[in-house]
Structure 1
Amino acid sequence: MKKKTWLGLIFLAIFSLIVSGCNFSSSTEEKDDKKEDEKEADGKVAQVLNLSATADIPTLDSTKAHDAIAFDVLNNVNEGLYRQDQSNQSVPALAEKHEKSEDGIVHTFTIRDAKWSNGEPVTAADFEYAWKRVMKEAGAYNYMLVTAGIKNSEAIMNEEMDAAELGIKATGEKTLEVTLESANPLFETLLAFPTFLPQNQKFVEELGDQYALEADNILANGPFKLDNWSQEQSWKLVKNEDYWDAGTVKIEEVNVFVVKDPSAGANLYETEKIDRVKLTSALIDQYVEDKNFKVEKDSGIVFLRFNHNHPVLKNSEIRRAIGMAVDRQGLTDVILKDGSSPIYGVVGEGFYFSPENKDYRELNGDFNKGTPEEAKAIWEKALAEVGQTELTVSLNIADSDEMKKVAEYLQAQLEDNLPGFKLDIKAVPFAQRLEIEKAVDYELSLSTWGPDYSDPMTYLDMWVKGSSSNRMDYSNPKLDALVHDARGETDLSKRYEMLLGIEKVLLEEDAAVAPLYQRGSAILVRDKIKDLAKHPTGAEFTYKWAHIE
């Protein structure tokens, strides 16, 4: 533990009063008592995991959930046909058997014997009901069923067909048949996503609009049960003894406390109330020498969008020069200091591998990487070609601390390295930043992207013409054709070549966006925590294999 300043001690005393409603305390006596409580009567270490979250759970209705916090809880209290394993691979879970037709279009699943926490069996009908409900309710992630290629899903999403016509049906109590539009190499990968979880129809409909809003209003069929949920304060998971694979689960209890202030989270870690905490850049220098300080690579990226309708920014060489003029190493090492790393592509490094087990980023290399002098030369030539001597544009950003720091760095870099360039920063709330992007009512926008599933396509198909994630009116028929062909290609090596080609069109040919950095996390985590699975997509954590040493 680091030596605290008097200011830190005063803050900690005040903080202990503020959070007393959550049963937190910083007293020496209770801290010593806690150490004793960590050992059970037989001398074994108590299998209790204490974590924090930055916000409360909005809903635990899997057909409507659209945030990482809800996905984490759902992933641990529920289980679908597949789930992510410790290596982030999608593996069978409630699917005891999975058979495919010769053409790869019809998939038949046999559901293993499993129970809901009210004692009722999990059936094939539970999957049919939930997936059709996703389409009927037009949930935030209904497009995932389209990405999975389930028959009629796109027509239903476009309101051309009814949700009842989705290509899924229970053909027996334990037999589920799913029909796709065509063979889809992503299908099994996507099945681990929380939107594909089952629901008990009778339970959901009895609760109506109160379903999944309280601990008692949700059923579990996974490794844990939701035991308690105190709104805006905390929630508690306990081991589900009726889980089909309960013998694998070692953790008996998981407590998650809602802690919105980063400094408060660090203090809770120091007083041993939580076992893992994420640090902001402002706290990193304070803890960088701590033995439990670690940095982790994340799968999300931060990049610059360009409005492709802008009279100057529509020029690809102007865009290339802007991206090339930024020293990304200085940005990540000096400004962020949180484990983020420079990136010169839109697909993250370290998570996505070819059938030959080669990292996507290694295979495709860096795009538009150069020196300030090279950027200046491209800039001046392109500026002359468009008949300009200078350019003033605004940058649309979310008003978070991270984005403000990055924007100020970009402003200094671009104005120093590109003669005649001036950047104005416009900070707005995150939700408004998204709305401005959707309307393409900006010049430059500082954007973030977190992948939805474990495949490079989650970074690549967002750039097709008309995509809701495009948000800059970019279009290239060559890219659209490659995405279309890759979606249906069942030869995995050929498909991967197509995926590499999509990024080459986007960045090598068009310099359509300017990737800046791949996010990282600076954390404090106790070394007693073992085998806590952290995933790059979907739910962040799986507690199923974790244990306390």
Structure 2
Amino acid sequence: MILSLALAACSNQDASNESSSTTNDSKNEEKVVYLSAPGVIPGLDPILADNGFSFSIINQVFEGLYRLDKDGNPELALAAEEPKVSEDNKVYTFKIRKDAKWSDGSPITAHDFEYAWKKAVDPETGAAYGPQFEEIVANASEILKGKKSADSLGVEALDDQTLKVTLENPVPFFKELLTTAIFFPQPQEFIKKQDGKYASDSKHTLYNGPFVLTDWNGTGDSWTYKKNQNYWDKEAVNVDEIRVNVVKDTSTAVSLYQEGKLDRVKLTGEYVDKYRSNDEYHTFLTGATSYIKMNQGKNGEKTNLANLNIRKAMNLALEKDKLVNSILNNGSIVAQGNVPKGLADNPETGEDFRAENGDLTYYDLNEAQNYWEKGLKELGKDKLEITLISSDSGTSKQLAENIKYQLENNLPGLTIKIKNLTPKASIAANVGQNYEMIMTGWSGDYHDPLTYLNLFITDSPGNHTGYSNKEYDRLVLGAKGSMANEPLKRWKAMLKAEKMLIKDSAVLIPLYQDGSAFLQKSYLKNFVTYKVGADNLKWIDIQK
């Protein structure tokens, strides 16, 4: 999905003027925060979720063995203590907290983890992020390919409180990986009673995170996070409720903010200069990269974008600084690769990954037009019409129009048709590979280049481009597994893989690394955001 649609913008169309300004004047009054979202919730099941927007919601109402702390480091959550680890770093034995409960008061056990993980890798489940287990947990790769039963996965509940996990290889980022949704537990007995409706609305869901989701009917444009009274760490949760409404228009959100009806609002480019000197104005360079995916075809049917020269022409025909400086104007920076700046450093030299791998694409009109002419000749055509899908938000529409203008002017014979979709429909088009070109992106799950590169191995849940390269797969899967104990070799493999993806194969058109400009009330504290990973509202507070 368009990653600039993260759950960072905040407003409430229905809130009263006194909602934020008059609450919390005494200890007896409820603490209520008002935020906004860019669209309806696409999905809430941690196993079936397939987009960053859903993960933003999931992170507030569920959790796993670990949770990211305020600084972005994994800290114990449902795990009662650090695990016992075997000498070869392949076997982890966790103890589950005795006070860990589902929102109905029933205990969370090691069996809930075993059930959820085996369900996630079972091909019949169709979990989009099941491949996160690949080359990580023992037997996951064979299970995902249908060669072994899900029961053979390297996870076992030794008793209610003890979980044994066996890995294929040592994994340096394993704890951080366990903070992500696909590794969360699930209440098996409750799910069985929901007749296939689990996580479809508030009524059919059990939670285990800081909040429970109320007032959500599965499709509505409002919902409420309510403090989970059965959460093991409820004393750390400072507010009673967080009320969320869908507000797509920035001007509406800004007006609500000025009227005191919301506590935080994300700014689009046209508002940045106006509020730049405001004490409540802030910016943040995220780890999200935005790009255009080009559909090369599926099920044996190739598209015009399967032509490498056409894809390279598209890559070289965009002046991305026009997008970043003229439209976004929010601290975003031009991206010329897939892995963002400031994510990871060379294990020996300390050099940043992005700096070491350099610009893998660039703007060169003459070169772009040469590739374009070659591509058209190979296709036996003198013109192409391609549809570009973007979100229906104001900024996305502006970006799409500018991209259309540039590409049509720079590549003779090209016509771009823009199709604006809701976030939910855009996600569906992306995941279903029902597009020609689509504006999307990725924010990563953990601080390692692998979380960006892993998306584009063959049959990865984040691929959906038709790209498949055995050498790319070998490099990325090796970095995920067999090279774990050889840091420099692993690093070089990832550098090479990114070059193959962008420079050699032009699978994506990198656009920008997302910046975030926002207004936030001075009394709103501990709205925790990370360079990589979903926002964390656990500690959010109102202090007046």
TM-score (norm 1): 0.80
Write the distance in 1 (CA, Å) between the matches of 2:230 and 2:497: 46
1:403-418 pair list within 5 angstroms: 403-417=396-410
Q: Do the aligned partners of 1:227 and 1:236 also contact (CA within 8 Å) in 2? A: yes
Structure 2 residue aligned with 1:197, among 176, 184, 190? 184
Structure 1 residue aligned with 2:98, among 89, 113, 121? 113
Write the distance in 2 (CA, Å) between the matches of 1:192 and 1:61: 15
Write the distance in 2 (CA, Å) between the matches of 1:275 and 1:361: 35
State the match for 1:25 in structure 2. Answer: 16
Q: Do the aligned partners of 1:156 and 1:162 also contact (CA within 8 Å) in 2? A: yes
1:117-161 deviation line (CA, Å, top 9, x unaligned)? 433332211211222333456154342443462233344434444
Write the distance in 2 (CA, Å) between the matches of 1:61 and 1:158: 23
Structure 2 residue aligned with 1:423, among 400, 415, 418? 415
State the match for 1:40 in structure 2. Answer: 26
State the match for 1:164 in structure 2. Answer: 151
TM-superposed CA distance for 1:177, in Å, is: 1.0
Structure 1 counterpart SS, 2:495: helix
State the match for 1:257 in structure 2. Answer: 245
Q: 1:546 to 1:131 in 2, by over 3 A?
A: farther
Write the distance in 2 (CA, Å) between the matches of 1:514 and 1:395: 15
Structure 2 counterpart SS, 1:40: coil
Match of 2:360, as an amino acid? F
Q: Do the aligned partners of 1:148 and 1:184 also contact (CA within 8 Å) in 2? A: no
1:357-391 deviation line (CA, Å, top 9, x unaligned)? 54322222222335x4xx31564388469868995
Q: 1:355 to 1:227 in 2, by over 3 A?
A: farther
State the match for 1:122 in structure 2. Answer: 108
Q: Do the aligned partners of 1:39 and 1:46 also contact (CA within 8 Å) in 2? A: no
TM-superposed CA distance for 1:92, in Å, is: 3.0
Q: Do the aligned partners of 1:53 and 1:69 also contact (CA within 8 Å) in 2? A: no
1:51 equivalent in alignment to 2:35: yes
Structure 2 counterpart SS, 1:541: coil
1:336 equivalent in alignment to 2:328: yes
State the match for 1:445 in structure 2. Answer: 437
Structure 2 counterpart SS, 1:459: helix
1:181 equivalent in alignment to 2:168: yes
CA RMSD of aligned residues (A): 3.7
Q: Give the structure with higher Rg (CA).
A: 1
1:397 equivalent in alignment to 2:393: no
1:298 equivalent in alignment to 2:259: no
TM-superposed CA distance for 1:79, in Å, is: 2.4
1:349 equivalent in alignment to 2:311: no
Q: 1:482 to 1:120 in 2, by over 3 A?
A: same
Write the distance in 1 (CA, Å) between the matches of 2:381 and 2:199: 55
- Relative contact order (alpha carbons < 8 A, sep ≥ 6): 1 or 2 greater? 2
- Structure 1, gaps ≥5 residues long: 1-14
1:221 equivalent in alignment to 2:205: no
State the match for 1:12 in structure 2. Answer: none
1:275 equivalent in alignment to 2:275: no
State the match for 1:10 in structure 2. Answer: none
Q: Do the aligned partners of 1:46 and 1:548 also contact (CA within 8 Å) in 2? A: no
Q: Do the aligned partners of 2:131 and 2:461 also contact (CA within 8 Å) in 1? A: no
Write the distance in 2 (CA, Å) between the matches of 1:311 and 1:428: 22
Write the distance in 2 (CA, Å) between the matches of 1:273 and 1:251: 17
Q: Do the aligned partners of 1:78 and 1:220 also contact (CA within 8 Å) in 2? A: yes
1:471-494 deviation line (CA, Å, top 9, x unaligned)? 444444432331132122113343
Q: 1:508 to 1:547 in 2, by over 3 A?
A: same
TM-superposed CA distance for 1:341, in Å, is: 2.0
State the match for 1:132 in structure 2. Answer: 118
Structure 2 residue aligned with 1:506, among 492, 495, 501? 501
Write the distance in 2 (CA, Å) between the matches of 1:313 and 1:457: 25
1:364-419 deviation line (CA, Å, top 9, x unaligned)? 2222335x4xx31564388469868995333332253444433332343345445x
TM-score (norm 2): 0.81
Match of 1:328, as an amino acid? K
Q: 1:320 to 1:221 in 2, by over 3 A?
A: closer
Q: 1:148 to 1:75 in 2, by over 3 A?
A: farther
Q: Which has the higher helix share?
A: 1
Match of 1:143, as an amino acid? G
1:483-522 pair list within 5 angstroms: 483-488=476-481, 489-491=483-485, 492-522=487-517
Structure 1 counterpart SS, 2:405: helix
TM-superposed CA distance for 1:201, in Å, is: 2.9
Q: 1:337 to 1:421 in 2, by over 3 A?
A: farther
Q: 1:139 to 1:544 in 2, by over 3 A?
A: farther
Write the distance in 2 (CA, Å) between the matches of 1:471 and 1:211: 27
Q: Do the aligned partners of 1:302 and 1:446 also contact (CA within 8 Å) in 2? A: no
1:14-35 deviation line (CA, Å, top 9, x unaligned)? x99xx5xx4x335xxx47xx63
TM-superposed CA distance for 1:273, in Å, is: 2.0
Match of 1:548, as an amino acid? Q
Write the distance in 1 (CA, Å) between the matches of 2:375 and 2:25: 73
State the match for 1:79 in structure 2. Answer: 63
TM-superposed CA distance for 1:40, in Å, is: 0.6
State the match for 2:449 in structure 1. Answer: 456
Structure 2 residue aligned with 1:380, among 354, 370, 374? 370
Range moving further from structure 2, 81-90 or 285-294: 285-294
TM-superposed CA distance for 1:347, in Å, is: 1.1
1:542 equivalent in alignment to 2:500: no
Q: Do the aligned partners of 1:397 and 1:403 also contact (CA within 8 Å) in 2? A: no
Q: 1:269 to 1:365 in 2, by over 3 A?
A: same
Q: 1:363 to 1:546 in 2, by over 3 A?
A: farther
Match of 2:445, as an amino acid? Y
State the match for 2:357 in structure 1. Answer: 364
1:296-354 deviation line (CA, Å, top 9, x unaligned)? 333333334456666797345x6445423322111111123343321100112233444
TM-superposed CA distance for 1:468, in Å, is: 5.2
TM-superposed CA distance for 1:469, in Å, is: 4.0
Match of 2:323, as an amino acid? L
- Structure 2, gaps ≥5 residues long: 1-10, 297-301
Write the distance in 2 (CA, Å) between the matches of 1:438 and 1:245: 35
Q: 1:472 to 1:49 in 2, by over 3 A?
A: closer
Count matched residues.
Answer: 517
TM-superposed CA distance for 1:68, in Å, is: 4.1
Match of 1:500, as an amino acid? L
Write the distance in 2 (CA, Å) between the matches of 1:425 and 1:381: 21
Match of 1:198, as an amino acid? P
Match of 1:77, as an amino acid? V
Q: Do the aligned partners of 2:23 and 2:31 also contact (CA within 8 Å) in 1? A: no
